[in-house]
Amino acid sequence: MAIASFSLPFTYLQKPSSCSCRCSSSFEKPIFAFSSNGIANKALQEIRNSGVIACLRAQNADLANRAARAALDGGISALEIVMSTPDVFEVLRNLVLDYPAKTFGVGTVLQAKDAKDSIKAGAKFLMSPATVMDILVGVSESDVLYIPGVMTPTEILSAFSAGARIVKVYPVSALGGVGYISALKRPFSHIPMVASQGITIDLIEQYISQGASAVVLSDAIFDKEAMSQRNFDRIYQLASHATLQGKQVVERLEC
C-alpha cells in the first residue's frame, strides 16, 4: 500500500523513565524538533491536563452541535467528533470558531483524505480504532496529533516506534479494563496511552492512577437517553462531573 504523499516519515528515541509520576520528562522527544508551541504538543498537553476526551457521535448535525456545546460549556476541553456524524466537518468548523480555546479532534479516521479534511476543518488531533500508517506518517507535516488505536503489546510498540506520540488502547473494557492498562504500563511506562471504550465517569480515577494519560468518554457524557430526548442539561451535568473528576486525579498525580 502506497504511503500518502502529504507526509514525511519520522522516528522517536526510546528512553524509559524511572519517574512514576506524570511529569513531562517521562515523554519521549522526537528526533526532529517540534516547537513547544506546536499544534501536536498543545493538543497532547491539553489532553493530559484534563484527563478526559469527550467522544461525540450523533444522528444529525443539529444534535451534534447542541450536544457538543452542552459538553463544552460543562467544562470539557478536549472534544472528539466521530466521522460518522453527518456534516462532521461543518459542525467542527462552527465549534472551532465559537470555542477557540478548546481542543477539537475527529475520531474513527481511517483514510488519509479524511485526515486532511479534518485538519482543514480545524481538528487538532485525530483518532482511529486501529493504526493507519498513511495517517501516522502523514501528520508529520501538519503537526497535528494522531492517536492510533492499539490492542496488543506488539501493536503498541509498533505504533510508537513508527512515530506515534500517544496511543489509544481500544477496546479497553473488553480487554480487561483498568487491569489491562496497569499491566501494559509495566513494560511500556515510557509510552503515553489513552484508554477508550466502555469507560464510566466513576472509573476515571482508577484508569489515570494506573497509568492512562487520559480516558475517552462517550456514552458516559453523551448519554443515549439524554441524546434521544435532547436533554442538553443532563449532558452539561455529566460533562461537568467528568471534567472535575479528571482534573482532580491529574492534579493529585502531578509532580
Would residue 28 count as lying in a domain? no
Pick the more confident residue, 10 or 203.
203
Q: CA-CA-CA-CA torsion for 71, 75, 81, 87, nearest 10 degrees?
A: 60
Domain holding 49, by residue range, is: 39-253
CB 83 within 8 A of CB 117: no
Pick the more confident residue, 19 or 146.
146
Query: CA distances (Å), 81 to each of 2, 3, 84, 128, in order?
Result: 28, 25, 9, 12
Confidence of residue 8 (pLDDT cuts 50, 70, 90): very low
Asked if pLDDT for residue 186 goes beyond 50, the answer is: yes
Would residue 203 count as lying in a domain? yes
CATH number at residue 182: 3.20.20.70
**Which of 34-43, 64-73, 81-90, 102-111 is predicted with the least confidence, judged by mean pLDDT?**
34-43
Give the mean pLDDT of 188-192: 98
| Burial environment of residue 198 by CB neighbours within 10 A (0 to 12, 13 to 18, 19 or more) | middle
Nearest one of 86, 34, 30, 27 to 58, comparing CA atoms: 86
Would residue 139 count as lying in a domain? yes
If one counts every other C-beta atom within 10 angstroms of the C-beta of residue 243, the result is 22
Confidence of residue 160 (pLDDT cuts 50, 70, 90): very high
Give the count of domains, the chain: 1
What distance lies between CA 78 and its chain's CA centroid?
8
Give the model's pLDDT for residue 3.
42
Would residue 8 count as lying in a domain? no
Would residue 33 count as lying in a domain? no
Would residue 224 count as lying in a domain? yes
Give the mean pLDDT of 155-161: 98
Give the model's pLDDT for residue 9.
34
Give the model's pLDDT for residue 77.
99
Confidence of residue 255 (pLDDT cuts 50, 70, 90): low
CA distance 52 to 119: 21
In the chain, pLDDT over 70 holds for what percent of residues? 85
Instruction: Please give the mean pLDDT across all residues of the chain.
Output: 89
Give the model's pLDDT for residue 22.
56
Would residue 19 count as lying in a domain? no
Write the CB contacts of 239 (distance below 8 Å, at least 6 apart in sequence).
54, 70, 71, 72, 73, 74, 75, 76, 221
Would residue 59 count as lying in a domain? yes
